[in-house]
Structure 1
Amino acid sequence: MQELLAIIEVDSGDRVLCCAPECKRSVYKRVHVVRDNSQILVFGQTCFRGIYSDLVSAPSKYTGFHSKVLTEEERRLLVENTEALILRFENEFSKGNSIELASESSLVGHRKNNTDHDQGSGRDVLCHYCGKMMVTHIQHVPAMGFKCQVCKDNRERLPVRGKIKR
Protein backbone atom coordinates (compact mmCIF):
# COMPACT_ATOMS: atom_id res chain seq x y z
CA MET A 1 0.00 0.00 0.00
CA GLN A 2 1.32 3.42 -0.99
CA GLU A 3 0.09 6.59 0.70
CA LEU A 4 1.26 10.19 0.69
CA LEU A 5 1.28 11.13 4.38
CA ALA A 6 2.55 14.70 4.44
CA ILE A 7 4.23 17.46 2.47
CA ILE A 8 6.68 19.29 4.69
CA GLU A 9 9.32 21.99 4.60
CA VAL A 10 12.48 22.43 6.65
CA ASP A 11 14.94 25.30 6.93
CA SER A 12 17.37 25.41 3.98
CA GLY A 13 20.27 24.91 6.39
CA ASP A 14 18.65 21.73 7.79
CA ARG A 15 18.13 19.85 4.54
CA VAL A 16 17.22 16.16 4.54
CA LEU A 17 18.32 13.47 2.11
CA CYS A 18 15.97 12.12 -0.54
CA CYS A 19 15.40 8.35 -0.20
CA ALA A 20 15.01 7.69 -3.93
CA PRO A 21 17.40 5.09 -5.34
CA GLU A 22 20.40 6.68 -7.05
CA CYS A 23 19.43 10.15 -5.74
CA LYS A 24 21.96 11.86 -3.55
CA ARG A 25 20.24 15.23 -3.31
CA SER A 26 19.29 17.04 -0.15
CA VAL A 27 15.89 18.70 -0.06
CA TYR A 28 14.16 21.27 2.11
CA LYS A 29 11.01 22.51 0.30
CA ARG A 30 8.06 20.36 -0.74
CA VAL A 31 9.50 17.27 0.97
CA HIS A 32 7.10 14.35 0.49
CA VAL A 33 6.69 11.75 3.25
CA VAL A 34 5.31 8.49 1.85
CA ARG A 35 4.25 5.21 3.42
CA ASP A 36 5.24 2.45 1.02
CA ASN A 37 4.00 -0.83 2.53
CA SER A 38 5.59 -0.81 5.99
CA GLN A 39 8.32 1.78 5.28
CA ILE A 40 8.07 5.53 5.71
CA LEU A 41 10.23 7.28 3.13
CA VAL A 42 11.18 10.90 2.44
CA PHE A 43 11.45 12.22 -1.14
CA GLY A 44 12.07 15.49 -2.90
CA GLN A 45 9.27 16.66 -5.17
CA THR A 46 10.95 15.58 -8.43
CA CYS A 47 11.74 12.05 -7.25
CA PHE A 48 8.27 11.72 -5.68
CA ARG A 49 6.62 12.62 -8.99
CA GLY A 50 8.80 10.13 -10.85
CA ILE A 51 8.27 7.21 -8.48
CA TYR A 52 4.70 7.80 -7.25
CA SER A 53 3.05 9.41 -10.27
CA ASP A 54 -0.33 7.93 -9.26
CA LEU A 55 -0.22 9.85 -5.93
CA VAL A 56 0.69 13.26 -7.40
CA SER A 57 -2.87 14.52 -7.85
CA ALA A 58 -4.08 13.31 -4.44
CA PRO A 59 -3.79 15.41 -1.27
CA SER A 60 -1.53 14.16 1.49
CA LYS A 61 -3.24 12.56 4.48
CA TYR A 62 -2.13 15.11 7.09
CA THR A 63 -1.25 18.33 5.20
CA GLY A 64 -3.48 18.23 2.14
CA PHE A 65 -1.93 20.01 -0.85
CA HIS A 66 -0.06 22.44 1.39
CA SER A 67 3.37 22.02 2.94
CA LYS A 68 3.85 22.34 6.69
CA VAL A 69 6.97 24.10 7.93
CA LEU A 70 8.46 21.90 10.63
CA THR A 71 9.61 23.18 13.99
CA GLU A 72 13.13 22.32 15.16
CA GLU A 73 11.76 19.47 17.29
CA GLU A 74 9.68 18.11 14.40
CA ARG A 75 12.71 18.30 12.09
CA ARG A 76 14.74 16.32 14.63
CA LEU A 77 11.98 13.70 14.72
CA LEU A 78 11.95 13.57 10.92
CA VAL A 79 15.65 12.64 10.88
CA GLU A 80 15.82 10.45 13.98
CA ASN A 81 12.41 8.74 13.96
CA THR A 82 10.13 9.56 11.05
CA GLU A 83 7.49 7.15 12.39
CA ALA A 84 7.25 9.25 15.58
CA LEU A 85 6.72 12.40 13.52
CA ILE A 86 3.92 10.72 11.58
CA LEU A 87 2.36 9.54 14.86
CA ARG A 88 2.42 13.16 16.04
CA PHE A 89 0.66 14.28 12.85
CA GLU A 90 -1.84 11.45 13.29
CA ASN A 91 -2.58 12.53 16.88
CA GLU A 92 -3.15 16.12 15.75
CA PHE A 93 -5.40 14.86 12.97
CA SER A 94 -7.43 12.56 15.22
CA LYS A 95 -8.03 15.35 17.74
CA GLY A 96 -9.73 17.34 15.01
CA ASN A 97 -6.84 19.79 14.82
CA SER A 98 -5.57 18.56 11.48
CA ILE A 99 -2.91 20.65 9.81
CA GLU A 100 -5.02 20.82 6.65
CA LEU A 101 -8.12 22.08 8.46
CA ALA A 102 -6.14 24.71 10.35
CA SER A 103 -4.52 25.86 7.12
CA GLU A 104 -7.81 26.04 5.25
CA SER A 105 -9.57 27.95 8.03
CA SER A 106 -6.81 30.57 8.06
CA LEU A 107 -7.14 30.92 4.29
CA VAL A 108 -10.89 31.36 4.51
CA GLY A 109 -10.35 34.16 7.03
CA HIS A 110 -7.77 35.68 4.70
CA ARG A 111 -10.23 35.71 1.81
CA LYS A 112 -12.78 37.70 3.81
CA ASN A 113 -10.18 40.39 4.53
CA ASN A 114 -8.53 40.51 1.10
CA THR A 115 -10.53 42.20 -1.62
CA ASP A 116 -7.62 42.04 -4.10
CA HIS A 117 -8.23 38.33 -4.57
CA ASP A 118 -12.02 38.37 -4.34
CA GLN A 119 -13.45 38.34 -7.86
CA GLY A 120 -17.12 37.67 -7.29
CA SER A 121 -19.01 34.40 -6.90
CA GLY A 122 -17.47 31.10 -7.96
CA ARG A 123 -15.38 28.47 -6.23
CA ASP A 124 -12.51 29.09 -3.83
CA VAL A 125 -9.03 28.07 -4.99
CA LEU A 126 -5.46 28.96 -4.08
CA CYS A 127 -3.34 31.13 -6.35
CA HIS A 128 -0.49 28.89 -7.55
CA TYR A 129 1.96 31.80 -7.42
CA CYS A 130 1.31 33.65 -4.15
CA GLY A 131 -0.72 30.99 -2.29
CA LYS A 132 -3.59 33.31 -1.39
CA MET A 133 -7.24 32.33 -1.60
CA MET A 134 -9.11 33.56 -4.66
CA VAL A 135 -12.36 32.87 -6.46
CA THR A 136 -12.58 31.40 -9.95
CA HIS A 137 -15.23 30.41 -12.44
CA ILE A 138 -12.87 28.07 -14.32
CA GLN A 139 -14.10 24.48 -14.02
CA HIS A 140 -10.71 22.78 -14.54
CA VAL A 141 -7.21 23.34 -13.15
CA PRO A 142 -5.01 25.21 -15.66
CA ALA A 143 -1.71 23.56 -16.65
CA MET A 144 0.32 26.20 -14.78
CA GLY A 145 -2.13 26.54 -11.87
CA PHE A 146 -4.55 29.31 -10.98
CA LYS A 147 -3.19 32.87 -11.04
CA CYS A 148 -4.93 35.71 -9.20
CA GLN A 149 -5.32 39.15 -10.73
CA VAL A 150 -2.66 40.64 -8.45
CA CYS A 151 -0.08 38.10 -9.67
CA LYS A 152 -1.17 38.66 -13.28
CA ASP A 153 -0.72 42.41 -12.88
CA ASN A 154 2.66 42.11 -11.12
CA ARG A 155 4.32 39.69 -13.54
CA GLU A 156 7.54 40.73 -15.22
CA ARG A 157 7.16 42.08 -18.70
CA LEU A 158 8.81 39.57 -21.01
CA PRO A 159 9.76 40.21 -24.65
CA VAL A 160 7.38 38.67 -27.16
CA ARG A 161 8.71 38.38 -30.72
CA GLY A 162 11.21 41.16 -30.12
CA LYS A 163 8.66 43.50 -28.55
CA ILE A 164 7.84 44.19 -24.92
CA LYS A 165 4.36 43.30 -23.66
CA ARG A 166 2.42 46.30 -22.50
Structure 2
Amino acid sequence: MLGLGVERLRADMNRLLALLFHQGVLDEQFLQLQQLQDEASPNFVSEVINIFFNESEKLLRNLRGLLMEKEFSDYKKMGIHLNQFMGSSSSIGAKRVRNVCVAFRAASEQHNRAGCIRALEVLEHEYCYLKNKLHELFQIEQQRALAATVRYPMQQN
Protein backbone atom coordinates (compact mmCIF):
# COMPACT_ATOMS: atom_id res chain seq x y z
CA MET A 1 0.00 0.00 0.00
CA LEU A 2 2.83 2.37 0.85
CA GLY A 3 4.44 1.99 -2.57
CA LEU A 4 1.21 3.03 -4.30
CA GLY A 5 1.18 6.37 -2.48
CA VAL A 6 4.78 7.06 -3.42
CA GLU A 7 4.11 6.14 -7.04
CA ARG A 8 0.98 8.30 -7.16
CA LEU A 9 2.96 11.27 -5.81
CA ARG A 10 5.78 10.63 -8.30
CA ALA A 11 3.18 10.55 -11.11
CA ASP A 12 1.68 13.83 -9.80
CA MET A 13 5.14 15.42 -9.89
CA ASN A 14 5.77 14.19 -13.41
CA ARG A 15 2.38 15.48 -14.60
CA LEU A 16 3.02 18.91 -13.08
CA LEU A 17 6.51 19.07 -14.60
CA ALA A 18 5.15 18.00 -17.99
CA LEU A 19 2.53 20.77 -17.80
CA LEU A 20 5.15 23.39 -16.92
CA PHE A 21 7.33 22.30 -19.83
CA HIS A 22 4.35 22.20 -22.20
CA GLN A 23 3.35 25.74 -21.13
CA GLY A 24 6.91 26.96 -21.66
CA VAL A 25 7.23 27.93 -18.00
CA LEU A 26 10.35 25.76 -17.60
CA ASP A 27 13.04 24.57 -19.98
CA GLU A 28 15.76 21.90 -19.97
CA GLN A 29 17.96 23.96 -17.62
CA PHE A 30 15.55 23.01 -14.81
CA LEU A 31 16.21 19.33 -15.56
CA GLN A 32 19.95 19.96 -15.45
CA LEU A 33 19.50 21.63 -12.07
CA GLN A 34 17.61 18.56 -10.84
CA GLN A 35 20.46 16.31 -11.98
CA LEU A 36 22.80 18.14 -9.60
CA GLN A 37 20.69 17.00 -6.64
CA ASP A 38 21.81 13.79 -4.94
CA GLU A 39 21.75 12.06 -1.56
CA ALA A 40 24.56 14.30 -0.31
CA SER A 41 22.45 17.38 -1.09
CA PRO A 42 18.81 16.22 -1.15
CA ASN A 43 17.40 19.77 -0.97
CA PHE A 44 19.71 21.29 -3.57
CA VAL A 45 17.01 22.27 -6.07
CA SER A 46 14.65 23.81 -3.51
CA GLU A 47 17.55 25.72 -1.93
CA VAL A 48 18.65 27.13 -5.30
CA ILE A 49 15.06 28.02 -6.17
CA ASN A 50 14.55 29.74 -2.80
CA ILE A 51 17.67 31.85 -3.43
CA PHE A 52 16.20 32.71 -6.83
CA PHE A 53 12.89 33.70 -5.20
CA ASN A 54 14.61 35.92 -2.61
CA GLU A 55 16.74 37.67 -5.22
CA SER A 56 13.80 38.02 -7.61
CA GLU A 57 11.66 39.67 -4.93
CA LYS A 58 14.40 42.29 -4.44
CA LEU A 59 14.77 42.83 -8.18
CA LEU A 60 11.02 43.23 -8.66
CA ARG A 61 10.89 45.77 -5.81
CA ASN A 62 13.81 47.67 -7.33
CA LEU A 63 12.24 47.67 -10.80
CA ARG A 64 8.89 48.84 -9.48
CA GLY A 65 10.60 51.51 -7.36
CA LEU A 66 12.51 52.83 -10.37
CA LEU A 67 9.40 52.97 -12.55
CA MET A 68 7.34 54.73 -9.88
CA GLU A 69 9.83 57.58 -9.50
CA LYS A 70 8.19 60.77 -10.66
CA GLU A 71 11.22 61.84 -12.69
CA PHE A 72 12.29 58.36 -13.81
CA SER A 73 15.14 58.35 -16.28
CA ASP A 74 17.62 55.71 -15.08
CA TYR A 75 17.10 53.14 -17.83
CA LYS A 76 20.70 52.00 -17.42
CA LYS A 77 20.06 50.94 -13.81
CA MET A 78 16.87 49.21 -14.92
CA GLY A 79 18.86 47.33 -17.55
CA ILE A 80 21.30 46.12 -14.89
CA HIS A 81 18.44 44.75 -12.78
CA LEU A 82 16.88 43.11 -15.83
CA ASN A 83 20.18 41.49 -16.82
CA GLN A 84 20.46 40.04 -13.30
CA PHE A 85 16.88 38.77 -13.50
CA MET A 86 17.47 37.26 -16.95
CA GLY A 87 20.62 35.51 -15.78
CA SER A 88 19.11 34.04 -12.64
CA SER A 89 15.90 32.94 -14.38
CA SER A 90 17.96 31.32 -17.16
CA SER A 91 20.10 29.47 -14.61
CA ILE A 92 17.06 27.75 -13.06
CA GLY A 93 15.21 27.16 -16.32
CA ALA A 94 12.46 29.75 -15.80
CA LYS A 95 11.89 30.22 -19.52
CA ARG A 96 8.79 32.44 -19.55
CA VAL A 97 10.19 34.73 -16.86
CA ARG A 98 13.42 35.08 -18.85
CA ASN A 99 11.48 35.81 -22.05
CA VAL A 100 9.49 38.57 -20.35
CA CYS A 101 12.77 40.05 -19.07
CA VAL A 102 14.04 40.14 -22.67
CA ALA A 103 10.93 42.05 -23.81
CA PHE A 104 11.16 44.31 -20.74
CA ARG A 105 14.80 45.10 -21.54
CA ALA A 106 13.85 45.97 -25.13
CA ALA A 107 11.26 48.47 -23.84
CA SER A 108 13.87 49.84 -21.45
CA GLU A 109 16.45 50.25 -24.20
CA GLN A 110 13.86 52.24 -26.19
CA HIS A 111 13.18 54.41 -23.09
CA ASN A 112 9.54 53.36 -23.35
CA ARG A 113 8.23 53.93 -19.83
CA ALA A 114 4.67 52.76 -20.62
CA GLY A 115 6.08 49.62 -22.23
CA CYS A 116 8.26 49.05 -19.17
CA ILE A 117 5.26 49.38 -16.83
CA ARG A 118 3.30 46.84 -18.91
CA ALA A 119 6.32 44.52 -19.01
CA LEU A 120 6.71 44.78 -15.23
CA GLU A 121 3.07 43.75 -14.75
CA VAL A 122 3.57 40.73 -17.03
CA LEU A 123 6.84 39.89 -15.27
CA GLU A 124 5.17 39.99 -11.86
CA HIS A 125 2.37 37.76 -13.14
CA GLU A 126 4.76 35.21 -14.68
CA TYR A 127 6.95 35.26 -11.58
CA CYS A 128 3.97 34.59 -9.28
CA TYR A 129 2.76 31.75 -11.50
CA LEU A 130 6.23 30.19 -11.50
CA LYS A 131 6.57 30.60 -7.75
CA ASN A 132 3.18 29.02 -7.03
CA LYS A 133 3.81 26.07 -9.36
CA LEU A 134 7.30 25.39 -8.02
CA HIS A 135 5.99 25.54 -4.44
CA GLU A 136 3.33 23.03 -5.46
CA LEU A 137 6.02 20.81 -7.01
CA PHE A 138 8.19 20.97 -3.88
CA GLN A 139 5.24 20.15 -1.63
CA ILE A 140 4.51 17.03 -3.68
CA GLU A 141 8.23 16.14 -3.56
CA GLN A 142 8.24 16.52 0.25
CA GLN A 143 5.16 14.31 0.54
CA ARG A 144 6.76 11.73 -1.75
CA ALA A 145 10.01 11.74 0.24
CA LEU A 146 8.10 11.42 3.51
CA ALA A 147 5.92 8.61 2.16
CA ALA A 148 9.03 6.77 0.97
CA THR A 149 10.60 6.86 4.45
CA VAL A 150 7.55 5.90 6.52
CA ARG A 151 7.77 2.34 7.78
CA TYR A 152 4.98 0.48 9.48
CA PRO A 153 5.73 -2.30 11.98
CA MET A 154 4.95 -5.83 10.86
CA GLN A 155 1.82 -7.19 12.50
CA GLN A 156 2.18 -10.44 14.38
CA ASN A 157 -0.55 -13.09 13.92
TM-score (norm 1): 0.27
Question: Which structure has the highest helix share of the two?
Answer: 2
TM-score (norm 2): 0.28
Question: Which structure has the highest strand share of the two?
Answer: 1
Higher RCO, 1 vs 2 (CA within 8 Å, ≥6 residues apart)? 2
Greater Rg, structure 1 or structure 2?
Answer: 2
